[in-house]
Structure 1
Amino acid sequence: MEDSRIALPMGTALDRFIKIKQDDFQYASGELSQLLRDIALAGKVVNREMNKAGLINIIGSIGTQNVQGEDQQKLDVLANIRFVRAFTKGQEVCAIISEEDDEVIEIDNHKKYIVAIDPLDGSSNIDVNVSVGTIFSIYRRISPIGSAVEEKDYLQKGIEQVAAGYILYGSSTMLVYTTGHGVNGFTYDPSLGEYLLSHQNMTIPENGSIYSINEGSSLSFDDGVKKYISYCRENNYSGRYIGSLVADFHRNLLKGGIYIYPATNKNPNGKLRLLYECNALAFIVEQAGGKAVDGKKRILEIQPTSLHQRVPFFVGSENMVNKAVFFNENS
């Protein structure tokens, strides 16, 4: 067995990387590795569908709403179908929590893992050819294998995640994930049909000069957030807001910055979902040396109380998040 601590050559295929790194996972027995492969495969399928979306009339709203009351895009539904199908056929998942489904999707009570997923975050941006993404989070069930899945299995704190990641569909398609031993990114090569290691041991700068927030809602922000935005402007930080969470997060991960979706009058508990958006990105950013809070409290320590629970979200470079928390706590 190769030493998993040794840096691997750039361009290493995802399957080989997962196999070599499998022993980093304390329960290593092959199931998690296969589950990550299932996610990668579904990502390839979604990427293919998105690349021809404008040609086969699968952009725009489908005319229905999800459990959050948000208009479902055609590709939201399609991506959800692709990922649920991949998990069902992969046979490593006992249950799925999806943004697009009201309730837990139970698959096989004899399996160990639960997946929480936002199949296509930012899907409304596809109509204008802006980057979007998939966010996923993996937990190990608590209840005995073979029994029905219980609430304690899927309402776990983020610190209990065994893996998390995202797929960014942009100028290139990237899969970024962590199993709690650093963060690695893989770029999809369509000519080979493979994800290849392109960003090894990713780290986020402690400081940055980018702040990402929807300033159009600034009149309804708390005083602490308003003061932090003023601080950013006074220090000549760059305001960069794409409106696709994965894309904004990915840029700040590479360059250093902070992403904020605070509480507002319209969304007093924030807009982003704890289980399948915030927890995953919080796990990734902490593994990369950054920080994620709800304005005061560490995201990964929040006890979920419902499947689609929302929280305010401050995530990014450690010193920038600390400064935002300072303004929040002193306003």
Structure 2
Amino acid sequence: MKTNSTSIETSRIAQPIGSALDRFIKNNQNQFQYASGELSQILRDIALASKVVNREVNKAGLIDIMGAVGSTNMAGDQQQKLDVLANIRFTRALAKGGEVAALISEESETYVDLNNDGKYVIAIDPLDGSSNIDVNVSIGTIFSVYRRKSPAGLPIQEEDILQKGSEQVAAGYILYGSSTMLVYTTGYGVNGFTYEPSLGEYFLSHPDMQMPDNGKIYSINEGLSNSFDTSVKEYLNDCKEKAFTARYIGSLVADFHRNLLKGGIYIYPPTAKDPKGKLRLMYECNALAFVAEQAGGKASDGRGGRILDIQPTGLHQRTPFFVGSKHMVEHAERFA
């Protein structure tokens, strides 16, 4: 039987696309216990800022916004020009939205008081892995949303800022790669949206994302292996004996996203240089741990401690981070 190639091509072109992000948020707003539109507005503000950052990332090689600015941020990393630009974009968008009272950012020494009556606090890494922009490698944005505890209108309190990850009401990330994706959760599963630049909209492309319980990918900077403790070295040897695949991009969002889709584990353990780990609890680990758990995965400190149960004592607190497929993380913990 002869196939009509024209009809096949027409059917492909006519395939429906997923819901636009705004419509999806509106349709699912009732899942959120404080369903008064505020959280929806925050997600829209984050999406808007990400579109601006996406534009600047895509033209980075054409104008002078690549490279370092000559200073370091509070995490001790050399600030890139795009770090500063992304921080400005997200801060402005969230300040103008009016729903966010305070912002915790990797690029700021202390929290930023946005001087409004907002009911939420945002923790954000505006541009994770930004040094990779110079070599055209995927980078990302990571964000956490908390509901402030003190009454709106009063000065921000420490209890508003230093909340456990388990108290997040929403979290997610934006991946700027071969396509740009926004992935988020409000505690009712994980959904991914792909940016369509000609329309300027995010569309649902990955509904109800589930991380495989197991995988064969391990992501770790093995260049630091001489300073890993014995338990981590033994786990890595176990991975190699099982012929697992090593994949390490060096952009946390990109490594996490691949393992979310394909199954795997990401590890940043304590090292001689960073005995408490390198990754920051408040604006890197908590968000991705929330997403991982909502997708059926797991996130721990490598010794059985749940990331989302850690009580932060500082804005830039670090922690060891083991995140990914549930059975892989549990197996890694057995070596501790």
Q: TM-score, normalised by structure 1?
A: 0.96
Alignment partner, residue 207 of structure 1: 214
Corresponding residue of 2:151: 144
Residue equivalent to 2:128: 121
Deviation, 1:224, is 0.6
Q: Cα distance, 1:307 vs. partner? A: 0.2
Aligned: 1:83 with 2:99: no
Aligned Cα RMSD in Å? 0.7
1:56-85 Cα deviation digits (max 9, x unpaired): 110000111111221100000000000000
Tell me the distance in 2 between the aligned counterparts of 1:15 and 1:192.
Answer: 13
SS of match in other structure, 1:130: coil
Decide whether the 8 Å contact of 1:109 with 1:148 is kept in 2: no
In structure 1, which of residues 146, 149, 156 is the aligned counterpart of residue 163 of structure 2? 156
Secondary structure of the structure 2 residue equivalent to 1:267: coil
Whole-Å separation in 1 of the counterparts to 2:28 and 2:161: 26
Query: Structure 2: how far apart are the matches of 1:260 and 1:10?
Result: 35
Correspondence list, 1:80-229, <5 A: 80-229=87-236
Task: Determine if contact 1:114/1:141 at 8 Å carries over to the other structure.
Answer: yes
Secondary structure at the aligned position of 2:335 is classed as helix
Gaps of 5+ in 2: 1-15
In structure 2, distance between residues paired with 1:35 and 1:234 = 46
**In structure 2, what residue type is equivalent to 1:33?**
S
> Which deviations, in whole Å up to 9, do the C-alpha atoms of 1:120-148 show, x marking residues without a partner?
00000000000000000000001111111
Match of 1:27 in 2: 34
Please state how far the C-alpha of 1:110 moved relative to its aligned partner: 1.4
State the distance in 2 between where 1:165 and 1:39 align.
10
Contact 2:98 2:117 in 1 (8 A): no
Contact 2:98/2:116 (<8 A) preserved: no
**Partner Cα distance (1:89, 1:111) in 2:** 11
Single out whichever of 176-185 and 100-109 deviates more from structure 2. 100-109
For residue 196 of structure 1, report the CA deviation from its aligned partner: 0.3
Whether 2:315 is the aligned partner of 1:307: answer yes
Correspondent of 2:290 among 283, 289, 308: 283
TM-score (norm 2): 0.94
1:236 to partner: Cα distance: 0.5
Runs of 4+ deviating beyond 2 Å? none
Percent sequence identity is 72
Question: Does residue 265 in structure 1 map to residue 264 in structure 2?
Answer: no
2:246 matches 1:239:
yes
Q: Is 38-47 or 64-73 further displaced after alignment?
A: 64-73
Distance 1:94 1:190 in 2: 31
Give me the whole-angstrom Cα distance separating, in 2, the residues matched to 1:271 and 1:28: 36
**Number of residue-to-residue matches in the alignment:** 320
2:256 matches 1:249: yes
Amino acid at match of 1:30: G
Contact 2:123-2:145 at 8 Å conserved across structures: yes
Name stretches of at least 5 consecutive residues in structure 1 with no aligned partner: 1-8
SS, match of residue 246 in structure 1: helix
**Would you say 1:322 and 2:330 are equivalent positions?**
yes
Structure with max Cα Rg: 2
